[in-house]
Structure 1
Amino acid sequence: MRWLRLDSHCDSAASRRLMISVHLPKTGGTSFRKLLEDRFGKGLRTIYGEKPFNLMREQRCAKALADAHAERDAAHDGVQCIHGHFLPARFLLLRERRNLVFVTWMRHPVDRLVSDYRFTLRHYDAATAPPFQKRILNEEWSFERYALCEELRDFYIQYLWAFPLEYFDFIGIAEHSAEDFAEFQQRYFGGGTECPRLNARPDAPEPVDAALRRRIEAHHAGDMEWYAKALSLRAKRLKG
């Protein structure tokens, strides 16, 4: 399959586009993955076995740098899209050799934390859980403690270490998922189907107390700024 607007005569590895799709946890990436599976088929490579936040920050960044050298030197034969949980810095060096298109989805930081907290409580296996998750369950953390802990402070900034938002060619916003999903398909594939709704809980999330919500937003001031910037980039993109 060739992407929309990709010249048919561009057959060298350097000229063929490779999409790098960063799945920020609890932003709707599971539904987006279904689209990528349908679009790219065997040309899709997924990275889900590695969970960056199971590592300490220094280890996480060091691994991203080491992976960057490995990805730069890899052939990526037959791969048209790479999607999963990974720091995008992992593919910075590959930009020297390939025509990359970076995409991701973001969600309001407080709402993402609510979803992530519930996921952490629901999906727990004492035999395989990382130390941080075990601590949360064993100490019976409340959502307030979870949302205001230092380990997860400014999650987006930690995950997008060394990778400015401006490096992304497309940032979808979960709160505008239907519209942005359609725009993504039109932009890169000339149109397509409606956004599949996967991994979504049938019950509506309970609202966060207004006072607590303000405290969480202040604690994650960096992420709030980045989310606002993503909304601004989206507005500019829609204006053309």
Structure 2
Amino acid sequence: MAAAGSPPWTLVSVHVPKTAGTSFAEALRRVHGDGLRLDNADRPLAHARGERRLAALRQACALAGRGLPDACVHGHFLPVKYALARRTRFCVWLRDPVQRVVSRYHHYRRHGDDEPHHLRWGLVPGLSLEQFAALPQYRNTYAEYLWAFPLRRFDFVGIVECYEQDMQRFAACFGLDPARLAGERANRNPERGTGQGYLLEPAQERLIRRCNARDLALYERALGSS
């Protein structure tokens, strides 16, 4: 039984970088208000694979069998962190992996040169898109985030390219009022028009696809089940 005054379950929303997570967080806040907790301290891609996995497993053990006091938790973390908590439901948004990589590259070029962990993983000033795509730390980000937590464990998987339609599906899935979720998209690249994808040279797209084969497979699976 849930404690008096606590939500019947907690929505755990995984924000993979550059998958409309900022816009989605604003929508969640319109619905949940103070019941929304942002959990961005883990910063998975700032750490080596073994470090982030071990940290997530330790957190999972600490939360095992416990209910969360929040109505919703949203942020940059591995979902396995909350896998053993009680009364949880999970959601995630995915975006075309090629477009996501290019968006992440441009976000780094706009904002990221001063991040202390960047040099550790090869993010140096003036990096080209091709050089960024080849960095091991930033390949297959979906697969890295969803380690030990398969897509079938999510109650909802949204597709960013279908954001408005899938927000309706999200509302229906969790019994929410879609009017309260509605709002403008946030954190877009100001140099790219609304609804437009990044244009790439064929060789650039081939490189990104080759470096993100696991993410492409996850995305295709999500498209088939949405």
Q: Same fold (TM over 0.5)?
A: yes
Shift of 1:125: 5.4
Give the secondary structure class of the aligned counterpart of 2:178: coil
- The Cα offsets for residues 142-184 of structure 1, whole Å up to 9 and x where unpaired, read as 1011112222221111111101011111011011111101221
- Supply the distance in 1 between the matched residues of 2:31 and 2:25 (Cα, whole angstroms): 10
1:203 partnered with 2:202:
no
1:86 partnered with 2:70:
no
What residue in structure 2 maps to residue 109 of structure 1? 97
Q: Is the 8 A contact 2:95 2:219 kept in 1?
A: yes
Shift of 1:123: 1.2
Relative to structure 1, the CA distance from residue 217 to residue 124 in structure 2 (aligned partners, 3 Å threshold; closer, same or farther) is closer
Greater than 3 Å deviation, 4+ residue runs: 10-15, 131-135
- Supply the distance in 2 between the matched residues of 1:132 and 1:71 (Cα, whole angstroms): 33
- Supply the distance in 1 between the matched residues of 2:151 and 2:67 (Cα, whole angstroms): 27
Shift of 1:48: 1.5
Given the two structures, how large is their TM-score scaled by the length of structure 2? 0.88
What residue in structure 2 maps to residue 155 of structure 1? 141
Relative to structure 1, the CA distance from residue 99 to residue 73 in structure 2 (aligned partners, 3 Å threshold; closer, same or farther) is closer
1:136 partnered with 2:123:
yes
- The Cα offsets for residues 63-84 of structure 1, whole Å up to 9 and x where unpaired, read as 000111222365633x111110
Unaligned regions of 5+ residues in structure 1, if any?
A: 1-9, 235-240
Q: Cα RMSD between the aligned structures? A: 2.2
Give the secondary structure class of the aligned counterpart of 1:26: coil
Relative to structure 1, the CA distance from residue 133 to residue 41 in structure 2 (aligned partners, 3 Å threshold; closer, same or farther) is farther
Number of equivalences = 219
Q: Is the 8 A contact 2:130 2:207 kept in 1?
A: no
What residue in structure 2 maps to residue 6 of structure 1? none
1:219 partnered with 2:211:
yes
- The Cα offsets for residues 34-58 of structure 1, whole Å up to 9 and x where unpaired, read as 0111111111111113311111110
1:36 partnered with 2:21:
no
- Supply the distance in 1 between the matched residues of 2:117 and 2:18 (Cα, whole angstroms): 18
